[in-house]
Amino acid sequence: MAMKNVKSANYWQVDHKVRNIFEVKGITVLSSPRAWEKFDWARKWFEEKPKEGYFIWVKKQVDFPLVTCITIATPKISQNLNNLLVIEKGIKAKAIVTCNAAENKLCGKHRAKGKLILKDDVSLEYNHFHKWGEKDFVSPDYEFILGRNSQLLYTYQNLFPPENLQLKTTIYSNENSSSKLNFIINGLNSNIRIQDLIFLKGKSSQGIARLRLAGRENSQIEAISKIFAQAPSKGHLDCRGLLLDRTAKISLIPEIVCQNKDAQITHEASIGKISEEELTYLRMRGLSETEAIDLIVSGFLNI
Amino acid sequence: MGKPLLKIKKLKVKGNGKEILKGVDFQIKKGEIQALLGPNASGKSTLVHTTLGNPKYKIVGGKIFFEAKDITKFPPEKRAKLGIAMAWQSPPAIKGLKLSQLLLEISKNAETTTLPPPSQPLAGPHSSRYLGESLLEREVNVDFSGGEKKIAELLQVICLCPKLVIFDEIDSGLDIKRLTNAAKIIKKELVNKKVSILLITHSGAILNFLRPNITNVMVDGKIICQEKDYKKVLKIIKKYGYEKCKKCKLLAG
């Protein structure tokens, strides 16, 4: 998966140390503290003087993906990242972003505040992979600011959740921009709180958030999805949970707020269990009960 | 023709608290083709699902043997690994799971059995030949037409390298062209390889393509008739309906 690209990553950080920065023509890659010093204009996007994290500024079209990897590798490490990605007008980009724990029981903390600025006519496919240890605390808070006519396809995938995950994602959509958000989370022995907010600020902007949440044993998942339609715009929330164990709990809270009479926003939410019929069907094909459940869950999480 | 492959003895089954099978005796030998006819709610599908180990149905009496082994309490996957397969009448849709992915999973599992390996890679050229690439890339049974479902079912059971295949209403919802095609595949991939086949059918349309050695009639949870000439059975059912079967001197016994 994304990890294969670590050595050629544009930015690779382990614990607090920057292990690799790889720049190509048209892309500036710096640590956030360095960017704070170097670019006055960038300061307004950082809420505070950053201590760690990455700064990536895409000024020219490139035909390969931007790759970042942030790892925790030391027990009880506490990361506090401020990340900034700026993509200039008219550029099409793809990002593969991995955040992970090198080992299972580090009891580490990973806090990340990120701003992603898509200027006018930008198209970004942002693939965000998380893989954590069972005792970690993880709190990413990302804001995407979408310029006019820009497009964002954001996929967050977490099949190995930490003990505690607080995931916040906010989208500000300007005129004619569109965002599609996919959150794919496999809860297991974890407390997960997801908050995704889409502000449809510009005329003809669009936003869709799709959540696929699997609740395995000892997982508590709460997902709050909101769309605020402030202009003539369209939005939709599609929240689905699959409860797989008696000790799991999923709570889905979709909310749609309309502040413009020409806006159209809708939502759907459902939580179900694995169908006995599907399970039996696959078992009659020679799959064990566990294999059949895994196959059904992977299908459910496949957006 | 030797020992029975599948033998069902005095099988009594309950579903939703109600007795559905009331003492079924049935057996099929290696390489044999049999048909099971019966009116709606006579217990045909219950018999099939119970034979395959569907936990929805509770066995309250009798036993099921496969190759002389008592499999009455075996879970479905163990029965599948022994070589019993079923093509569902109305298979469930599994969202997000591609048919090609499922076929690969089935083939992987089938390879671990003691059954002979398929003559060629089943999830590969086999499947695309019968299905076309587009169906393989679609989610299992999601928005499949009736014909697509039947062909997808057929392909899955072939991938299992079975010794016995039970087709639950393979001929329902298939036009004559698709039925001919399905029968051709069954002949080539199963009949020619001496796989035993039980055809559950309402209409009997499939019987003209796959002539059964024995035709059984089930009424009210019991097999009341076994006859070698399927045409004779179809003729009587067409003329008098299943109610007459109970009294039919020609066929009984």
Looking at the partner chain, which of A282, A288, A302 has a beta carbon nearest the beta carbon of B96?
A: A302
CB–CB contact B77 A300 (8 Å): no
Whether A272 contacts chain B with CB within 8 A = no
Whether A278 contacts chain B with CB within 8 A = yes
pLDDT of res. B252? 46
Q: In Å, how far from its chain's centre is CA B12?
A: 19
Give A161-191 as a DSSP string: --SEEEEEEEEEE-TT-EEEEEEEEEESS-E
CB–CB contact A284 B86 (8 Å): yes
Work out the pLDDT band at B236, boundaries 50, 70, 90.
Answer: confident
CB–CB contact B77 A284 (8 Å): yes
Q: How far is B1 from chain A (nearest CA, A)?
A: 28
Query: CA of A287: which chain B residue's CA is closest?
Result: B77
Provide the 10 A C-beta neighbour count for residue B160. Answer: 25
- Strand ranges in A230-289 using DSSP code E only, listed in sequence order: 234-243, 249-258, 264-273
Query: CA of B112: which chain A residue's CA is closest?
Result: A286
Q: Which residue, among A232, A234, A225, A235, has the nearest Cα to A197 in the 3D structure?
A: A225
Reduced to 3 states (helix: H, G, I; strand: E, B; else coil), residue B187 is helix
CB–CB contact A286 B139 (8 Å): no
CB–CB contact A284 B79 (8 Å): yes
A284, A296, A298: best to mutate for the B interface, most B CBs within 10 A? A284
Q: How far is B147 from chain A (nearest CA, A)?
A: 19
A240, A276, A285: best to mutate for the B interface, most B CBs within 10 A? A285
pLDDT of res. B171? 87
pLDDT of res. B133? 60
Q: H or E element: which one contains A282?
A: helix A276-283
| Nearest-angstrom CA–CA distance, B80 and B105 | 13
Whether A301 contacts chain B with CB within 8 A = yes
Whether A282 contacts chain B with CB within 8 A = yes
| Nearest-angstrom CA–CA distance, A263 and A273 | 34
Q: How far is B39 from chain A (nearest CA, A)?
A: 24
Residue B244 per-residue DSSP state:
G
Q: What is the mean pLDDT of residues B80-99?
A: 95
Tokens of B19: 């007795």
Q: What is the mean pLDDT of residues B68-91?
A: 96
Q: A–B: how many Cβ contacts below 8 A?
A: 74
Q: Which residues does chain B have within 8 Å of residue A284's beta carbon, measured at their own beta carbons?
A: 52-54, 76-77, 79-80, 85-86
pLDDT of res. B248? 65
Q: Which residues does chain B have within 8 Å of residue A285's beta carbon, measured at their own beta carbons?
A: 80, 102, 105-106, 109, 156, 160
Query: CA of B54: which chain A residue's CA is closest?
Result: A280
At A106-147, the pLDDT tens digits run 999 999 999 999 999 999 999 999 999 999 999 999 999 999
Indicate the Cα dihedral angle B25, B31, B32, B35, nearest 10°: 90
Q: How far is B236 from chain A (nearest CA, A)?
A: 35
Q: Which residues does chain B have within 8 Å of residue A293's beta carbon, measured at their own beta carbons?
A: none
Indicate the Cα dihedral angle A202, A203, A204, A208, nearest 10°: 30
Q: Which residues does chain B have within 8 Å of residue A297's beta carbon, measured at their own beta carbons?
A: none
Q: Which residues does chain B have within 8 Å of residue A283's beta carbon, measured at their own beta carbons?
A: 53, 75-77, 80
Distances in Å between the alpha carbon of A128 and those of A81, A187, A263, B73?
Answer: 15, 17, 30, 46
Alpha helices in B9-75 (DSSP H): 44-52
| Nearest-angstrom CA–CA distance, B44 and B11 | 13
Whether A294 contacts chain B with CB within 8 A = no
At B119-159, the pLDDT tens digits run 444 444 455 556 666 889 999 999 998 889 999 999 999 99
Distances in Å between the alpha carbon of B66 and those of A3, A132, A151, B74?
Answer: 49, 47, 59, 11
Q: What is the mean pLDDT of residues B34-47?
A: 92
- pLDDT tens for chain A, 303 residues: list them: 444 444 456 999 999 999 999 998 899 999 999 999 999 999 999 988 999 999 999 999 988 899 999 999 999 999 999 999 999 999 999 999 999 999 999 999 999 999 999 999 999 999 999 999 999 999 999 999 999 999 999 999 999 999 999 999 999 999 999 999 999 999 999 999 999 999 999 999 999 999 999 999 999 999 999 999 999 999 999 999 999 999 999 999 999 999 999 999 999 999 999 999 999 999 999 999 999 999 999 999 986
pLDDT of res. B131? 60
- Predicted ipTM of the assembly: 0.91
Higher pLDDT, A72 or B15: A72
CB–CB contact A285 B109 (8 Å): yes
Work out the pLDDT band at B118, boundaries 50, 70, 90.
Answer: very low
Query: CA of A286: which chain B residue's CA is closest?
Result: B77
Alpha helices in chain B (DSSP H): 44-52, 76-82, 99-111, 127-131, 133-136, 146-159, 176-189, 230-240
Residue B167 per-residue DSSP state:
E
Query: CA of B76: which chain A residue's CA is closest?
Result: A284
Q: Which residue has the tokens 């929330």?
A: A237
pLDDT of res. B128? 54
Q: Is the pLDDT of residue B21 over 50?
A: yes
* Model pTM score: 0.84
pLDDT of res. B134? 82
Query: CA of B51: which chain A residue's CA is closest?
Result: A284
pLDDT of res. A102? 97
